[in-house]
Amino acid sequence: MSGRGMFLVRKLGWALLTLAVVVTFNFLLFRVLPGDPAKSGMRDPRLNPQAVEALRERFGLDKPVLLNLEGGNPLDTQFTAYLGALARGDLGTSYAFRDQQVSDMIGHALVNTLWLILPAEVLAVVIGIGLGLFAAWRRGKPADVAALTFSLFMWALPIFFLGIILLIVGVNWFGLPIGGRITIGGQFESFWDLAVDVGRHLLLPTLTLALALIGEYMLIMRSSVLEVFGEDYILTARAKGLSTYGVIRHHALRNAMLPMVTLIALTLGFTVAGAIQVEAVFSWPGLGALTVNAVSDRDYPVLQGAFLLLAVAVVLANLAAELVYGWLDPRVSVE
């Protein structure tokens, strides 16, 4: 097998192992918390005891957690039931929404989250990298200072605060919608009207998320480009008489992108879990909102599902980053 193939196999193996650990950890993590999901899923302690018993049995909570030492099949436990269902692709039924499949809830929320995250990420990556490059190129000049100040400010600003400010300004001055994905119950004459409505709803949350990310991307990009600018080969390139554009395009950009790829991959992985605060401010029914509510409801199946998805997203994003690394810097895949 070629070095490249081995590299791929090794990385995939690590990814799978990580997931197996995460699945186990996820399961145990929620069960060491105090509280009784059969009751707290109901958010009300005055359930009649029959209902609590019936629910416990329904959720499988009457079984031992890891090992059945009380006789019978030692593997008849909550953990094996969870693994078995997971292997069949069944994430179970929510405790708090007792007639809803976890996979449906998460699927629905994931679509909404991607709907919000992807435009914001694209915007942030393009503008953040552009701004970072620009600032590095104009280092020390007023443009650099302005860009740097803007980025530091955005990076330091709590995102929910930024969201609320944008919401109040956007709604009161520009008549933008308060939140949600689309005008509920709206009748649209044409596809164009629908697109405008969706765009208006998307504008504020996307802007909030993008602004917060731009600051971070810009700062990393700037410092990474500056570092590369100090390298000897840049000096050589300049000495050869290349234009500034040529130096950046052919020599600096590719090397400066390495830390950016890591950063983008990491944020992308985590934002899949939902931009929790942005979702809360703009009533966006995404994964973040789902997870937050599941925590307060002790809704184990939803939490397990959401954390599994988060883990898969982070692992996949890292895997993608490693592969892109290999492409950007061929030394990585050979070593």
DSSP 76-132: -SHHHHHHHHHHTT---B-SSSTTSBHHHHHHHHHHHHHHHHHHHHHHHHHHHHHHH
**Residue 109 makes contact with another protein by CB under 8 A:** yes
**Residue 111 makes contact with another protein by CB under 8 A:** no
Please say which residue, 22 or 289, places its beta carbon nearer to another protein. Answer: 289
Cβ-contact 129, 217 below 8 angstroms: yes
Separation CA 185–CA 298 (nearest Å):
33
The nearest distance, CB 62 to another protein, in angstroms, is 11
**Residue from 2, 45, 190, 240 in contact with another protein (CB under 8 A):** 45
**Residue from 131, 281, 311, 314 in contact with another protein (CB under 8 A):** 281
The nearest distance, CB 97 to another protein, in angstroms, is 6
Gyration radius of the chain over CA positions:
25
Please say which residue, 168 or 235, places its beta carbon nearer to another protein. Answer: 168
Q: Is 179 left (phi over 0), alpha (psi -120 to 50) or beta?
A: left
Q: Can you give the length of the chain in residues?
A: 335
Please say which residue, 14 or 188, places its beta carbon nearer to another protein. Answer: 188
Q: Within positions 164 to 183, which residues make up the interface with another protein, using CB under 8 A?
A: 164, 167-168, 171-172, 175, 177-181
Phi, psi dihedrals of residue 107, rounded to the nearest 5°: -60, -50
Phi, psi dihedrals of residue 259, rounded to the nearest 5°: -65, -30
For another protein (CB under 8 A), the number of binding residues is 54
**Residue 289 makes contact with another protein by CB under 8 A:** yes
DSSP 56-82: HHHHTTTS-SS---SSS-TT-SHHHHH
Neighbours of 138 (CB within 10 A): 14
Please say which residue, 33 or 145, places its beta carbon nearer to another protein. Answer: 33
Please say which residue, 54 or 235, places its beta carbon nearer to another protein. Answer: 54
**Residue 40 makes contact with another protein by CB under 8 A:** yes
- Tokens representing 153 are 């400010």
Please say which residue, 53 or 231, places its beta carbon nearer to another protein. Answer: 53
Q: Binding residues for another protein, per CB under 8 A?
A: 33-36, 39-40, 42-51, 53-55, 58, 93, 96-100, 105, 108-109, 164, 167-168, 171-172, 175, 177-181, 184-185, 280-283, 285, 289-290, 292-293, 296-298
